[in-house]
Structure 1
């Protein structure tokens, strides 16, 4: 996709969303996402201050140098790898560039790119949905990451039930091989979200996925079980959520949601929006609690770049208003550890502006302003912010955004995505440049 088309979608009507950045054409209304190829805020003190390592008594006269604490995450989506050899190369390059966290996607449209008895094997791993895998990408990724001192966080999609771009993709949604788990939409087609007109989402459609409704307890429970199962069976260092939102404000009119709400949405629009927002929040909390029942690892999420557009006065979309994603509420509730806003835009010449960078372009929401707003919004909870960076904007922009993000006090950065950096051959640029000083992921004392 072109950068112009990305700007165009965010600049459009509030219901519009940014879509796939990894090989799938963008169309309205779709959303910014890591799994597919927005009022000025006060500055806060840097949160990545160095922490001295304790030295043995014999070395007390010469203490060890301080170690920088800064999350440096790399999104590796399901198109970025296809063999154990490519996974090894991914981890080698990530380590060379001094990344310290890899968000490794193992779950897209409610399928599995690892050995699972809960979701069907991905067509990309087993050639057909619900086949039998001959190897385990997650097992390889954990081993190769840890061998190089990298954390490995399993990246799983939340509410994107099945890819719906074209008829051939839709035709792959079918029962699994005997003894393998079926896709939930095969067993529970009634779990699909409904439109404002009361119709279930069709396949194909214009939203990239058939979304699932969190009004069904089974949808929420299934995601929580998948996350806990991964933490139980693999030595992952965290769980990373994506697509944990509605596809837009015109969705959610499924019978289960309407019955639970118990009122006319048209007559109670604010309560109806709050109800759907609370359903997503409940899903995140149940996933967090399920993980922690096994092991206290961090839960992060790729989130909308603009939390609330009314804070800026921009004619854009916003996570909390259109897609019912209350990132800051999740953090304040204690069930989100790291927010990773998908701020795939440039620093504007005028701070907090929303104007085209050049004549004929769509407005550019200022990266600087969006990141400062996320830091301010997450500050009361004490939870972390890793600023999203889009490598395709160029090396000068990467350098500028890392410098500004550090000044604002972000706890780290996350680059979308591996193949974009590989195309730039940016490993030495990062490892010898803005990431020259090695760093460790920031501590999270609340996990103790």
Structure 2
């Protein structure tokens, strides 16, 4: 099983010096050990992202079951299946259309629920990944129908080129955007009874955006002036980050309410659902996307932190492990994992390189999450071949679990 985060409400206590924890324990009547339990080592997650692109996994129930079996036998504890991609879902949704290939192949399959049931039978957690966050294709119906929801640059442009496609960002401060975003998440949580949800670097506010009429009006109403012309003005960046934080806080509240209504977190029941976040390195995440994942983690808006480290070389990977915010993150009383590239397209590290990276990450106390499923031993397994890599991953994870590192 994957490690639980500290009980909510205790993470700030975990950051206090031992002497203050002792005082806090005396004041609130906790055992000293409970107030200082962040020092207790937790087992580490070994996880993988699963996605429909490029993969046929989501379109065949038997293939889903075989994949989960293989992952369980290879020592994986947590699965992060993509559930929100290119403005579409992988189930019948009240808020967005179904992914076209799934609608054509098997609209009744419900792959996320199928995967969740299969994983739960094997003692694994499932935390669906909202890959596209607040990002939508510029051609999406919702963009045409609700242009006032779209963030703009100072010149009125909206498009961001990503992976050969023009994307736009919906405004996290707009009530309509917030209602739809929260609806998409709570819908899949209730539908499949998953163990949490994951946001990544697309749950963001691109720093050059924010000059659309709605945001300008909201800023004027609060500050009495127009937004600064310089999109990197630190107070303007902070204000927009606060809007993103507010949406995350509302998500936290809604998940807490769902947990309370279902009994999660009570004795004998499944644990509270987690909010997992997978950002890039801290400086880049904040300066480019206004993601303050340090603040969100310490403020208990995030329970599981996976920092992407896709440096291809071992030297570059090791350097990125030593970024200050990531070093501090180990003190925050929550699981902290490293996102490692297993294979994608023409970039498939060999097992010797992957072993070195996993050892570097786990030696620093981190779990590991691989991107992505097909890069383990599937279509992007590279010249080593699927059978060889599957055996190598199983052996590697046995070593990690045996050493506690």
The CA RMSD measured in Å over matched residues stands at: 2.9
Measured in 2, the distance between the counterparts of 1:86 and 1:250 equals 42
Q: 2:352 aligns with which of 367, 390, 396?
A: 396
1:265 alignment counterpart: 228
Classify 1:289/1:158 alpha carbon distance in 2 versus 1 (closer, same or farther; 3 Å): farther
What SS class does the counterpart of residue 233 from structure 1 fall into? helix
Q: 2:282 aligns with which of 303, 307, 310?
A: 307
- TM-score, normalised to structure 1's length? 0.67
Deviations 1:180-211 (A, max 9, x none): xxxx3354222122123123438999665222
Classify 1:399/1:84 alpha carbon distance in 2 versus 1 (closer, same or farther; 3 Å): same
Measured in 2, the distance between the counterparts of 1:111 and 1:200 equals 20
Classify 1:369/1:270 alpha carbon distance in 2 versus 1 (closer, same or farther; 3 Å): same
Is 1:406 the counterpart of 2:362? The answer is: yes
Is 1:430 the counterpart of 2:393? The answer is: yes
What SS class does the counterpart of residue 89 from structure 2 fall into? coil
Deviations 1:290-336 (A, max 9, x none): 112102201102211x211xxxxxxxxx1111111111111011110
Residues 104-253 of structure 1 aligned to structure 2 (within 5 Å)? 104-127=81-104, 133-157=107-131, 159-164=133-138, 170=139, 173-174=140-141, 184-201=142-159, 208-246=166-204, 248-253=206-211
Per residue, is there more helix in 1 or in 2?
2
Q: 1:88 aligns with which of 42, 65, 68?
A: 65
- Bigger drift between 155-164 and 114-123 goes to 155-164
Q: 1:100 aligns with which of 77, 86, 90?
A: 77
Q: Work out whether residues 388 and 414 of structure 1, in 8 Å CA contact, stay in contact via their aligned partners in 2.
A: yes
Q: Work out whether residues 65 and 118 of structure 2, in 8 Å CA contact, stay in contact via their aligned partners in 1.
A: yes
Residues 327-342 of structure 1 aligned to structure 2 (within 5 Å)? 327-342=293-308
Deviations 1:155-178 (A, max 9, x none): 1135444335xxxxx3xx44xxxx
- Bigger drift between 330-339 and 231-240 goes to 231-240
What SS class does the counterpart of residue 78 from structure 1 fall into? coil
Q: Work out whether residues 91 and 144 of structure 1, in 8 Å CA contact, stay in contact via their aligned partners in 2.
A: yes
Measured in 2, the distance between the counterparts of 1:380 and 1:146 equals 30
- Bigger drift between 396-405 and 155-164 goes to 155-164
- Provide the aligned length of Structure 1 versus Structure 2: 329
Classify 1:159/1:152 alpha carbon distance in 2 versus 1 (closer, same or farther; 3 Å): closer
Residues 47-62 of structure 1 aligned to structure 2 (within 5 Å)? none
- TM-score, normalised to structure 2's length? 0.73
2:274 alignment counterpart: 298
Q: Work out whether residues 74 and 397 of structure 2, in 8 Å CA contact, stay in contact via their aligned partners in 1.
A: no
Measured in 1, the distance between the counterparts of 2:93 and 2:334 equals 31
Classify 1:108/1:205 alpha carbon distance in 2 versus 1 (closer, same or farther; 3 Å): closer
- Give unpaired runs (5+ residues) of structure 1: 1-66, 165-169, 175-183, 309-317, 350-365, 443-448
- Give unpaired runs (5+ residues) of structure 2: 1-40, 221-225, 260-271, 343-347
Measured in 1, the distance between the counterparts of 2:356 and 2:132 equals 32
